[in-house]
Structure 1
Amino acid sequence: MLNGPLLVTERLILRPPGLEDFEAFADMCAEEETMRFIGGVSTRAQAWRMLCTLAGAWHIAGFSMFSVIERATGEWVGRLGPWEPEGWPAPEIGYGVRAKFAGKGYAFEGCIAACDFAVEFLKWPELMHSIDPENARSQDLARRLGATNSGPTRLPAPFEDARVDAWTQSADAWRIKRKDLLP
């Protein structure tokens, strides 16, 4: 059952998470390098609760991260998109893809669609990515999307000790940058 929008890009389908995503989601949550900057490695039980949180946010908030599906294979790539848990410093476009899909440009392609969704449908006046200062790959992606480092910010418990910077841009800046990006 589709519980929200379906976004389609050249290589990806973005849709709300579902039960069929759990095995791949749990696999991603067990990948040390993938999870290093996005909460750390999780058990299957923790992964289940995270997936249910993402799916439930569609019901409660009307938006959440999307499951990212590779169109050519139907394989689950990762999760990305709009995200704003209670106490978060600002609405965020977050992203994370499984190790086997890293470096293929899927996070970039999916984030373009997610930023469009946040600005044009959700009417967000600003986009933010919370990024660990040591996460060079995520910083590079944020730069490619047009965001700049606005300095340190704080996440709520249980992440209050995590070091993160807010990478931001206004909706108007996104619209200008968007003209230079993929169709």
Structure 2
Amino acid sequence: MSVFDLQLETDRLLLRPPRAEDLDAWADFSADEAAMRHLGGTMPRSVAWRSLATVVGAWHMQRFGFFFVFEKSTGAWVGRVGPWHPEGWPGTEVGWAIRRDHWGKGYAPEAARATMDWVFAQHPWQEVIHTIAPDNHGSKAVAAKLGSGLLRMGTLPAPYAGQVVEVWGQARAQWLAQEAAR
């Protein structure tokens, strides 16, 4: 089975690796100043294409990458959530970015929970982190809902070189114990 056949489901969401036909939704998201505030800023469509190709390439190189998230009821593209660990990153991350018109619906923690279950079942990661800008209170709330806490301060590699982030997260054992208790 190809990784591109992979799908995760929650009660409300479908998660799958990105495809070429997702470019329009990704480019629209990438042009939204509020949504991209903590993700390096807006991107014109040509750069969004390159960004999409990077995510698809991560799936080929590492057998994981961001999932694109869709509402099951409408088929609407919600955002991207999932595992991320490019060269020089401060750890094995599960991150999220949700379209502004879907903020406040609980989609980020719902999709991140499914992704973290998948990561710990399929990969030998001993820790999952979430790199969060110090003023990104929404992402801190999502991390807290996942049971993650502030672990340390860190910096990101180029093209974000020197950007200070809060590194939230938790160990595999903590996640598995927490999920067993759910």
TM-score by structure 1 length? 0.94
Counterpart residue number, 1:35: 36
1:53 aligns with 2:54: yes
Structure 1 segments of 4+ aligned residues over 4 angstroms from their partners: none
Runs of 5+ unmatched residues, structure 1: none
Counterparts of 1:101 and 1:88, CA distance in 2 = 28
Secondary structure in 2 matching 1:3: helix
Query: Could you tell me which residue of structure 2 aligns to residue 106 of structure 1?
Result: 107
Q: In the alignment, what sits opposite 1:125? A: 126
- Report the alpha carbon displacement of residue 165 of structure 1 after superposing the two structures with TM: 1.0
Structure 2, gaps ≥5 residues long: none
Can you list the C-alpha shifts for 1:5-25, whole angstroms capped at 9, x where unaligned?
Answer: 210110111100001211111
Identity %: 42
- Per the alignment, residue 139 of structure 1 pairs with 140
Q: Give the CA RMSD over aligned residues.
A: 1.4
Which residue in the other structure is 2:67 paired with? 66
Measured in 2, the distance between the counterparts of 1:87 and 1:23 equals: 29
Aligned equivalent of 2:149: 148
Partner in structure 1 of residue 86 of structure 2: 85
The alpha-carbon distance between structure 1 residues 2 and 148, as it changes in their structure 2 partners (threshold 3 A), is closer
- Does the alignment pair 1:116 with 2:117? yes
> What amino acid does structure 2 have at the position aligned with 1:140?
A
User: 1:135-176 deviations in whole A, cap 9, x for unaligned?
Assistant: 000001101101111121111111013220110100111112
Tell me the residue number matched to 1:23. Answer: 24
Amino acid at match of 1:16: P
Q: 1:2 to 1:126 in 2, by over 3 A?
A: closer
Q: Distance in 2 between matches of 1:162 and 1:155?
A: 6
Amino acid at match of 2:153: P
CA offsets 1:36-61 (integer angstroms, 9 cap, x no match):
01111111111111111101111111
Task: Name the SS of the counterpart of 2:104 in structure 1.
Answer: coil
